């Protein structure tokens, strides 16, 4: 009898080790880590810290405790925070703060995570962000789970409580990564953010891949991914369809690579808006092999009049358009409200910008619009092998320029307005 019990225990322990090995192998493949040593890894399952996973009970305290344990685990170890499959975890606004002791932290999201369905659940919490990761280096978040921001409760009225009359309220960002270096995000589905789905600020060494980010075309300010003051960022092989920019790159960002993005609906891939209230710099941006389908804009650079700084060494190549409204655009007169728009002799300096190997259809007649500041010209603008026609059979299209210097070759419609 005792021998049988011992045998069963051995089988059980073996099964657990096999399952752990399989799970760690999956994480390794998904994140590019080639080997994870079981002896140097500690597992933290949110269920062991009191999470219910029924979609109704507030699981924030359990996640907080699990995160603290994972973050403060032994130095030079690898911590894995497990969010198991088959369950839905309701979280109120919370922070995942570092710095953490382990050299690497993995969050394996196999289950679903949902935001509050009532604004009253936000009372007592900050309203800027739902889930915030701060100063966590070596962080990998991966899995097949879904993160639902329950945006509809915010889209018609972003205010919470009883704000002072005349107050402009902003809905929260779904997930923010701030000062997180060597960050990886892979495989997840993000839906219905109140505002921006994913925001990175002051991060370095970032790879986002194989993501799906979805919100209705009519949802306001629901950008897919925003890059702010971050460097060495690679975003690839993802599907993004929202109510605003699929990807937006703002000031302070450099060495950005974007590829394999299916964008639509939304406002395309944008650099900017720049120069709003100060000095902005963006440089070394490479956007290639992306498709825009029925987006409000295709690829664009936008800046306010009166700004300062520069954007340079920017390339858009291998882009396909399908019934896009503003396929190629440089807009240095950006003024989204169209009220009290500033006219100024200062502007963000734009240079070394290339549009190459681009083709498709547009719902607009003006398919190439390069509108640079009248006082600060755009320089070294290259438009090469670009072929855009109307989505409406038989309709003519054209391109325009304002104070743009550069060259155009193999372009239809012809772009004779570029100044050599």
Name the residues annotated as catalytic.
267
Which residues, other chains included, contact 96 with Cβ-Cβ below 8 Å and sequence gap of 6+? 67, 71, 131, 132, 133, 134, 136
Long-range contacts of 20-25 (CB under 8 A, 24+ apart): 23/82, 23/108, 24/80
Q: How far apart are CA 92 and CA 125, in angstroms?
A: 8
Sheet order of strands, 198-201 included:
94-97, 129-134, 173-178, 198-201, 225-228, 247-249, 269-274, 299-303, 328-331, 366-371, 398-402
Structure tokens at 208: 């986002």
In sequence order, the β-bridge partners of residue 214 are: 191, 241
Which of 339, 325, 340, 195 is CA-nearest to residue 267? 325
Structure tokens at 382: 């290259």
- The CA-atom distances, in angstroms, between 164 and each of 42, 119, 123, 124, 129 are 49, 17, 16, 18, 21
Q: How far apart are CA 138 and CA 100, in angstroms?
A: 9
Q: Is the separation of the CB atoms in 182 and 232 below 8 Å?
A: no
How many Å from the N-terminal Cα to the C-terminal Cα in the chain? 92
Q: How far apart are CA 81 and CA 111, in angstroms?
A: 12
Give SS3 for 328: strand
């Amino acid at each position: 009898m005792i021998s049988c019990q011992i045998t069963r225990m051995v089988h059980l322990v073996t099964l657990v080790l096999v399952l752990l090995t399989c799970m760690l192998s999956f994480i390794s493949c998904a994140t590019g880590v080639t080997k994870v040593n079981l002896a140097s890894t500690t597992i933290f399952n949110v269920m062991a810290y009191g999470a219910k996973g029924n979609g109704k009970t507030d699981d924030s305290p359990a996640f907080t405790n699990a995160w603290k344990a994972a973050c403060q685990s032994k130095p030079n170890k690898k911590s894995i925070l497990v969010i198991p499959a088959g369950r839905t975890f309701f979280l109120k606004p919370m922070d995942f703060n570092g710095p953490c002791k382990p050299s690497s932290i993995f969050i394996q999201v196999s289950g679903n995570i949902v935001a509050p369905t009532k604004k009253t659940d936000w009372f007592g919490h900050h309203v800027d962000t739902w889930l915030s990761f701060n100063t966590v280096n070596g962080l990998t978040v991966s899995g097949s789970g879904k993160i639902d921001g329950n945006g509809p409760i915010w889209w018609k009225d972003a205010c919470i409580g009883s704000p002072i009359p005349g107050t402009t309220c902003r809905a929260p960002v779904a997930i923010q990564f701030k000062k997180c270096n060597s960050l990886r995000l892979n495989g997840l589905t993000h839906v219905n953010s109140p505002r921006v789905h994913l925001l990175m600020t002051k991060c370095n060494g970032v790879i986002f891949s194989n993501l799906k980010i979805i919100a209705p075309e009519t949802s306001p300010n629901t950008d897919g991914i925003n890059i702010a003051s971050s460097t060495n960022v690679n975003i690839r092989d993802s599907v993004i369809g929202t109510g605003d920019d699929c990807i937006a790159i703002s000031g302070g960002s450099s060495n950005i690579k974007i590829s394999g993005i299916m964008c639509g609906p939304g406002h395309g891939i944008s650099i900017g808006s720049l120069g709003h209230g100060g000095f902005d710099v963006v440089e070394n941006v490479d956007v290639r092999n992306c498709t825009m389908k029925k987006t409000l804009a295709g690829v664009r650079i936008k800046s306010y009049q009166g700004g300062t700084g520069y954007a340079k060494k920017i390339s858009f190549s291998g882009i396909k358009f399908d019934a896009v409204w503003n396929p190629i655009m440089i807009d240095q007169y950006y003024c989204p409200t169209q009220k009290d728009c500033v006219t100024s002799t200062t502007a963000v300096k734009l240079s070394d910008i290339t549009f190459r190997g681009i083709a498709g259809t547009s719902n607009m007649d003006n398919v190439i619009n390069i509108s640079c500041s009248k006082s600060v010209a755009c320089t070294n603008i290259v438009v090469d092998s670009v072929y855009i026609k109307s989505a409406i059979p038989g309709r003519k299209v054209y391109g325009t320029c304002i104070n743009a210097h550069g060259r155009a070759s193999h372009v239809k419609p012809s772009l004779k307005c570029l100044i050599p």
